[in-house]
Structure 1
Amino acid sequence: MTESVPAAPAPPTVGDALRFAFGTLSVLPVAVRRWDRPAARGGMLAAPLVGVVVGAVAAGVGTGLTVLGASPLLAAVGTVAAPAVLTRGLHLDGLADAADGLGSGRPAEDALRIMKQSDIGPFGVLTLVLVLLTQTAALASCFADSRAYGATAAVLAAVLGRTAMTLACRAGVPAARPGGLGAAVAGAVPPRAALALGLAGVLLAAAVGLPFGGLSALRTAAAATLGLLAAEALLRRCVHRFDGVTGDVFGALCETGATAVLLVLALR
């Protein structure tokens, strides 16, 4: 008797990809209807679009505060808070957990167990404080330059932080454990598609820098490049230490990339 071969999953629609992206990377009330590899591939390719929405909201909060007379520092606080609210602090939590795992110096299995614990250790607390302070100070500097420059910085950081997540989903990057978001998306994105998206992010950054004149286009392109490189360096370290990626690692990559982008943009 001939055994039947299971049918291959149907290609995901644009709606499937967007639902996966927004349903897993934001708190927007979007139902994820498909949790298979094709949907994961489409969803992570759409991750930068989540950054566009999150960044636009953050930029709107910061700009609105300056219109109401708030100082650049207060506007920066609001801009940093908005993405945390829109993700329930998911990426910040991942950053803290990854820092605890890396800082523990334990073997991969023990480090992963530390990352799954609900509490945050000293490495995680210190990393969160430094990253949030850096993001706030950098955005305050950008808003002090102009409302438009501060808003642009917020959007670029959000988009490129999530582009770093897409790059980390490329084929060849393994999952550290079988369950969770990390296992669902690890290796799901073709390397060429990931590279193309990264290059598109750098070109987009250069384009939005043009209206600010001078060397701004070069600065925004450099910020995008260094942000993605910083996230890539962290990715390699995590794969080496944890034998792969987890959902926490993806959150850490997003925050690391975004912070590096903001830091370069603040040096205006």
Structure 2
Amino acid sequence: MPDDGRIPAGVRLAVTTFTVLPVRAGRVDRSSAAVAMALAPAVGAALGLPLAGLLLGVGAVGPPLVAAGVTVAAGALLTRGLHLDGLADTVDALGSYRRGAAALEIMKKPDVGPFGVVALVLVLLVQAAALAALTARPWPATLAALVTGAAAGRLGVAWACRRGVPAARPTGLGALVAGTVGRPALAVGTLAVCAVAVAAVPGRPAQGPLAVVAALGVTLLALRHAVRRFGGITGDVLGAVVELVSTLVYVGLALTG
């Protein structure tokens, strides 16, 4: 018989994993995790809506860079900064040139090393600069760009959790979600995000989808390297994927040359 309970459980898990919304935790297993990771782009799109409103609202009364900075800060607050923390931990572990358990031990440390600090500063600066550039566009395009960037970041997580990608540890978020997302869900999610991206660059309908595909391609190459170094994915790696894909998409959408 079909397991109908996994869908509402997966929705709750997706919301609690990717946002700060106080949703009551329900059943947590690999079946519900598969639903949650498949729905990750939809949760990202929902996050992009208030971020776009904030960017447009503050940008209407203040300098674009201030509006962009406020929006980036709000994005971190809405996700408890978990993705940024994952980015810093992952880059620190990669920068150590260690492998396997030794690299994973570095990721578990509560402090942030120099590689992680540099990664955070660069990502936040690039995001703010790209969002500032997007404020100059008509509001429908800016809205589509923010939704695309936020959704694409979580689409990257779905791709990182596709079947065949192992977990680095036997426990933790990585072990729960690794290998849970099948090809149909990836195809639907990718097509949906690319469809939204069409409206993000006025007069250039192909630029948005190309930015999404290029960002995913670069990130999957980086993910492949991380899997070789760590032995699989972890929750920190997934957080790094969110930030990397979103940043690259915002840059790709902001380009006007």
Give the TM-score taking structure 2 as reference length. 0.94
SS in 2 for 1:249: helix
8 A Cα contact 2:144 2:196, kept in partner: no
Q: Find the counterpart in structure 1 of residue 151 from structure 2.
A: 159
Question: Is 2:43 aligned against 1:50?
Answer: yes
Gaps of 5+ in 1: 1-7
**Residue identity matched to 1:187:** G
Q: Find the counterpart in structure 2 of residue 253 from structure 1.
A: 241
Q: Share of identical aligned residues, percent? A: 46
Q: Find the counterpart in structure 2 of residue 241 from structure 1.
A: 229
Give the number of equivalent residue pairs: 256
Q: CA deviation at 1:11?
A: 4.0
Question: Is 2:121 aligned against 1:133?
Answer: no
User: Based on CA coordinates, which of the two structures has the bigger radius of gyration?
Assistant: 1
Per-residue CA distance 1:158-185 (angstroms, 9 max, x = gap) = 0000001011111100000011111110
Q: CA deviation at 1:225?
A: 0.9
8 A Cα contact 1:93 1:248, kept in partner: yes
CA distance in 2, matches of 1:54, 1:151: 11
**Residue among 100, 112, 116 paired with 1:108:** 100
Q: Find the counterpart in structure 1 of residue 16 from structure 2.
A: 23
Question: Is 2:232 aligned against 1:228?
Answer: no
Q: CA deviation at 1:9?
A: 8.9
SS in 2 for 1:129: helix
CA distance in 2, matches of 1:42, 1:237: 26
Question: Is 2:201 aligned against 1:191?
Answer: no
CA distance in 1, matches of 2:140, 2:121: 27
**Bigger shift: residues 192-201 or 107-116:** 192-201
Give the TM-score taking structure 1 as reference length. 0.91
8 A Cα contact 1:62 1:151, kept in partner: no
Q: Find the counterpart in structure 2 of residue 214 from structure 1.
A: 203
8 A Cα contact 1:174 1:243, kept in partner: yes
8 A Cα contact 2:157 2:241, kept in partner: yes
Q: Find the counterpart in structure 2 of residue 175 from structure 1.
A: 167
**Residue identity matched to 1:21:** A
Per-residue CA distance 1:170-204 (angstroms, 9 max, x = gap) = 11000000111111100011133223322332233
**Residue identity matched to 1:247:** G
CA distance in 2, matches of 1:145, 1:205: 14
